[in-house]
Structure 1
């Protein structure tokens, strides 16, 4: 039987980046559209966690059992009742930021602010948070070239949603959504830095944060709803809407983009990865114009050009760093992944 060719780390990294950008773009548009329907933001978060858990919890249990068989009775790294293949410390930190914090903050933001704000403040502020955290935690130096790329991205993102951001504090509750979006981006930046520092395997990391978020939030939310301290529409919403949220938010946003985002970090590094995701503001803004009827301004086109230029500055040195990015995988899995 002919052996299928193995993909190079560069091919996997680029492919993971493309999938991540597409899913994140769809996430912004769909989450904003969902805010006008039946479910509350916490309902959508529950659908996200439960949908992802249907795939990831059995997967995690299988990985732990397999590791125990291979260890022959020796110690095996696992936590959360044998469902997470990572230690409790890494599972809890990653789950608190990348699984629980990001979902609750982001979905809540869409109920206050439009997609244009999310386009700017979710992926747009991510490079800034990640750069600052990488400099502090990873001792990553901010080079002049990287600073130039970040500056272009920031200016481009402001142009994409600047017209709406200028009116954020004139009244109403839009500022709440803006604050929630920036907080959600900070949570995801924390997770990306953790993934890089610990050399997390893409699949194991995604399983771990989902297990933590599901086992900690879903039971507490159910108790709050039962006691009347929280409002849920899961019992009255159409089943088709719930199934769609479980499929897209769970399988798409968590399982697929969670794995591809971590793979992207392993090749490009956390800072360059978040620069690549800076494509999302322009793409999601265009999608919001077409699908949600949001207005199209000249600043959208100018902003997209600046963001693209910032990405070119930020990622043009990704190739020399690729061998170093593969090193943590050996520590995390015991063998190098291709």
Structure 2
């Protein structure tokens, strides 16, 4: 009986294909995060319920990953881990980034979608992020703001003011609530910018940082909110929301926005570098605003369009600096 010929090795993707694929996945998930989060505001879940679903979804993947990673590091003789050996980072850093990026960011961002349309989020969250990050890095990391970056930041401020300023002026006329969502979006971006600066300050690995902040959120937010919701101390619809809706949000907000986009963003950085990667992600404001018009039926007013143009131009101006270091990927923002 003739011996069977050895099977040919499975073809491996080239680094270029992996880089391009990671860029496509990152932009798609970040764009979908904004559109779906706004659509979720008309569903059964409250902003805190969405945060709960996000943390549950990410925790299912990242908590076991953290346990495995800490065990591997300790087997290699390294002193690593905190929070019962689930976080690969020290407790102080884990708690700090976990509070900022694991809990506060999600609560602020999801709350914003219950007041303001996705088009506003498209401008104010991705637009405010480089603004806050540059200012915080200048203060705490002593980064120099070059004239080119200053021009980019000025364009971002102008875009944010055109979008958010109109809703604030409108509130004085008839008491609208859109301005509340705008402030929440910008506050969410500030929270993530604080996390980004901390990550740069301590040279944190993106994957380990994402695991650590998720572990903190799982061990703090989930039990506290679960008890408060069960006692009726906070408004929650977890008890009677459709399970299909909750599972979908776990997959989209947790697995998609936190795990998949976190990994794809890191791989994109490895291939394209931080500057080109930031230029690629500058597509998100325009794509998510277009998605809001197409899928949610939101109107595209002149001020929103002008804000999109200014913010996108500002992001492109702001990355014209070869020494720019990568920032941790936001969970879809």
Task: In structure 1, list runs of 5 or more residues that go unmatched.
Answer: 327-338
Give the structure 2 partner of residue 173 of structure 1.
177
Q: Whole-Å Cα distance in 2 between the matches of residues 257 and 2 of structure 1?
A: 26
Give the structure 2 partner of residue 250 of structure 1.
254
Q: Whole-Å Cα distance in 1 between the matches of residues 267 and 168 of structure 2?
A: 33
Q: Whole-Å Cα distance in 2 between the matches of residues 137 and 276 of structure 1?
A: 27
Post-superposition Cα deviations, 1:267-310, rounded to whole Å, max 9, x if no partner, equal: 427xx977764443322211111111111234444444434433
Q: Taking structure 1 as the reference length, what is the TM-score of the superposition?
A: 0.83
Cα pair 1:78 1:87 within 8 Å, conserved: yes
Q: CA deviation at 1:91?
A: 0.7
Task: In structure 2, list runs of 5 or more residues that go unmatched.
Answer: 1-8, 328-333
Q: Whole-Å Cα distance in 1 between the matches of residues 13 and 295 of structure 2?
A: 40
Count of residues in correspondence between the two structures = 316
Question: Residue 224 and residue 127 in structure 1: after superposition, are their counterparts in 2 closer, same or farther (change >3 A)?
Answer: same
Give the structure 1 partner of residue 103 of structure 2.
100
Post-superposition Cα deviations, 1:166-211, rounded to whole Å, max 9, x if no partner, equal: 4244303333222221211111001111121211112111100101
Cα pair 1:282 1:300 within 8 Å, conserved: no
Q: 1:155 aligns with which of 130, 154, 158?
A: 158
Q: Whole-Å Cα distance in 2 between the matches of residues 195 and 234 of structure 1?
A: 33
CA RMSD of aligned residues (A): 2.9
Pair 1:44 & 2:47 matched? no
Cα pair 1:127 1:275 within 8 Å, conserved: no
Trace 1:7-86 onto structure 2 (pairs within 5 A): 7=15, 12=19, 18-71=24-77, 75-86=78-89
Q: Could you tell which deviates more after superposition, 170-179 or 240-249?
A: 170-179
Question: Residue 164 and residue 26 in structure 1: after superposition, are their counterparts in 2 closer, same or farther (change >3 A)?
Answer: farther
Cα pair 2:31 2:288 within 8 Å, conserved: yes
Q: Whole-Å Cα distance in 1 between the matches of residues 269 and 162 of structure 2?
A: 27
Q: 2:241 aligns with which of 210, 214, 237?
A: 237
- What SS class does the counterpart of residue 219 from structure 2 fall into? helix
Q: Whole-Å Cα distance in 2 between the matches of residues 165 and 21 of structure 1?
A: 30
Give the structure 1 partner of residue 202 of structure 2.
198
Trace 1:242-281 onto structure 2 (pairs within 5 A): 242-261=246-265, 267-268=273-274, 277-281=281-285
Pair 1:122 & 2:121 matched? no
Pair 1:296 & 2:304 matched? no
Trace 1:200-215 onto structure 2 (pairs within 5 A): 200-215=204-219
Q: Could you tell which deviates more after superposition, 151-160 or 110-119?
A: 151-160
Give the structure 2 partner of residue 137 of structure 1.
140
Give the structure 1 partner of residue 331 of structure 2.
none
